Structure 1
């Protein structure tokens, strides 16, 4: 029995060069996001080691974001293999994350400007993934069910 919502996309929808290209770029962006967040964690360690003030928020955020990068990458890979649920998750998360991360960082007194700017730079690849997942190529690979 066929249901109207599918958990995976058929192979034909994923086997186009444009779809492969879009997912390759999305996976590269999530890898870059991971590298940038690891560099941000290293920067916090170096700043703290240099005797400058690093608050608990900065430590927690710097430690958690590389882990989120791993999760976002895993979900992106699952989407590239045809998982509609993973596609929907990565599409939603990559829109919400930059807004939440950047929005909180620029609240006065939460963290220093250098940290907020660094976190903003970390979000640029995530924004690229948001654009890719909401673009026509990947939307065509995962059409909405009725």
Structure 2
């Protein structure tokens, strides 16, 4: 039976100041992403209420992404307490999300340029987390091979 609980050796690496510092920075970055996502939602609301065109795609994404920030923050919290599964999921999401979001925004006609720029700015903290989760401190806390 597989468990998410870290072994004694892994726990020492997980609780090291470097690893916990990396998790702290990742959590802060995700909070920034959450705030930026809410600002993007407010921008969509403001543009819509001023009578300008806001398509369904923009509404759906603007509503969903703040929720994703909450989920990503919770996953990072679980990972900081030793959940390998949460760490691997968060690590994957922080790579996939920016590629998918920015890639879709680059398709002609999907959204206006101002919205695409807003989404790129929202993804910058997520990209930072992608690099943090691939750093030496967290690679040591969650070694490969299991």
TM over 0.5: yes
Q: C-alpha offsets along residues 2-59 of structure 1, whole Å, 9 cap, x if unaligned? A: x7x6523232111211111100000001111100000000000000011110000000
**TM value normalised by structure 2:** 0.94
Pairs aligned (count) = 143
The answer for the alignment partner of 1:8 in structure 2 is 5
The answer for the alignment partner of 1:138 in structure 2 is 138
User: Could you list the runs of 5+ residues in structure 2 that have no partner in the other structure?
Assistant: none
The answer for the alignment partner of 2:99 in structure 1 is 99
Summarize the alignment of residues 1-146 of structure 1 with structure 2, pairs less than 5 Å apart.
Answer: 7-9=4-6, 10-146=10-146
**TM value normalised by structure 1:** 0.94
State the SS of the aligned residue for 1:134.
coil
State the SS of the aligned residue for 1:99.
helix
Structure 1: distance between partners of 2:62 and 2:75: 21
Write out the 4+ residue segments of structure 1 that deviate beyond 3 Å after TM superposition: none
Structure 1: distance between partners of 2:41 and 2:120: 14
RMSD across aligned positions (CA): 1.2
